[in-house]
Homo-oligomer: A and B are copies of this chain.
Amino acid sequence: MIASPISQENIVVGEVANGLPLTIPVYRLKGDGTGPSVYIQANMHGAEVQGNAVIFQLLEQLKHLNLKGDITLVPYANPIGCNQKSGEFTLGRFDPITGTNWNRMYHYNTDLVTQFAQNHMQYDDAILKSAFKQALIDEVDSKLNGPAYLLNTGKRIALNLQKLAHQADIVLDLHTGPISSKHLYCPTYATNSARYFNIEHVLLISSDFDGAMDEANFCPWWHLSEALSKQGRELSIPVEAFTVELGSQEKIDLSEALNDANSILSYLNYKAVFVNAPHTPANITRYACHLNDYFAYYAPMGGMVEYIAPLGGHIKAGEPIAKILRMERYLSEQPLQTLSLESDAIAILHFASASVNQGTELYKFFTNVFEL
Contacts and interface: CB of A to CB of B under 8 A. Distances in A.
A52 interface: yes
A192 interface: no
Most buried by B among A19, A93, A150: A19
A3 interface: no
Given A101-B99, A152-B359, A359-B153, A19 B328 contact: yes
A17 interface: yes
A284 interface: no
Interface string A11-47: 0001111111011010100000000000000010011
Contact of A251 (B52, B252, B298, B354): B354
A356 B43 CA distance: 14
A183 interface: no
A52 B99 contact: no
9 contacts: A17-B303, A17-B356, A18-B302, A27-B331, A85-B96, A89-B353, A98-B361, A151-B298, A152-B298
Interface of A: 6-8, 14-20, 22-23, 25, 27, 43, 46-47, 49-50, 52-53, 55-56, 59, 75-76, 79-80, 82-91, 93-101, 147-156, 178, 250-254, 296-306, 323, 325-332, 335-336, 339, 351-362
